[in-house]
Amino acid sequence: MRKQFITDALTSAAILAAMFLLIWFVTAMSLRPVAAITRQAAHIGARNLDDRIPIAGAADELDELAKVLNAMLDRLADSMRRTAEFSADVAHQLRPPLTRVRARLDLLLRGEIPASLRGEIEALGEEVVRLSRLCGHLLLLGRLELPGGEAHLLGERIDLKEVAEELVEQCSPMAHERGLALKIGAPVPAHVRGNRVLLVEALLNLIDNAVRWTPSGGTIRVSVDSNGREAVLSVADSGPGIPEAERERIFQPFYRMGETAVTHTSAGSGLGLAIVRAIARTHGGRVELLSSAGPGAEFRVVFPAFPAD
């Protein structure tokens, strides 16, 4: 009797184990498409909105879910494209009239006008220049934020060392006028696949940002490095540093550190760092900010390195 009981118990345990294994296998197989959808959905972001969730073709509820999610991504991509195109179109339309206004102001300044009026016209001219520069930045940012951005222009092999040395030489007089030392630290050969105009724009924005925030007597150092896999372009300054709470917000368009609202001054458009990040992403790279609790900050733009000759 006892032997029969043990045999029945072992048989029941084996059946239960087999049932649990079968249930686990069936559940795992049924959830595999859900896991695939989850992974793909988590991978899709602002820079790859053209990617879509694969449809298995089983004509079941999961295929319907994938279709709904893909339709939502279509609408989101279209909305982002329209927004970026609108910003670029507005900036494009504003540039010609601003150019005409600047030309008329220059003509007025060449004539005989009272000194007090001349000062006001010169101030207006400076504001028009600032607005024209803002339109140019908006136009560039709008193009970069479009799905695909300027990726079709990234066909050059760029020497970052050459770009850095050239811009440091060009910007040194501007830094000197502000009482700053602009230096380049022993750059190493580093090449990337990209667009020279965009890379120059990114470095100019970083240098300009450092010049505006570093007090007189400070130092700005530009450097280039490479480890074979990545090429790094960095700009470090001896300015006041960046509070931790603002280290992500400074990359937002029109945000200026220490301000809670957009103000219109000649200090900058608030688009420089947003453009740097957009250019880095267009090149398949990223921007890193190194800033401790004390003074000084370093912006590092990291790109995939182009193989050496």
Superfamily of domain 154-304: Histidine kinase-like ATPase, C-terminal domain (3.30.565.10)
Q: Report pTM.
A: 0.65
Query: According to the model, what pLDDT value does residue 150 have?
Result: 58
Each residue of 29-58: pLDDT tens digit?
A: 555 666 666 776 666 665 666 677 777 776
* C-alpha to C-alpha distance for 292 and 297, rounded to whole angstroms: 7
Tell which wins on pLDDT, 301 or 57: 301
Place 147 in a pLDDT band, splitting at 50, 70 and 90. Answer: low
Each residue of 86-133: pLDDT tens digit?
A: 766 777 777 788 788 888 888 888 888 887 788 888 888 878 877 777
Q: List the chain domain ranges.
A: 154-304
Question: Is the per-residue pLDDT at 198 higher than 80?
Answer: yes
- Cα 64 to Cα 31, 37, 194, 196: the distances in Å are 15, 12, 40, 45
Alpha carbons within 13 angstroms on the beta-carbon side of residue 115 total: 0
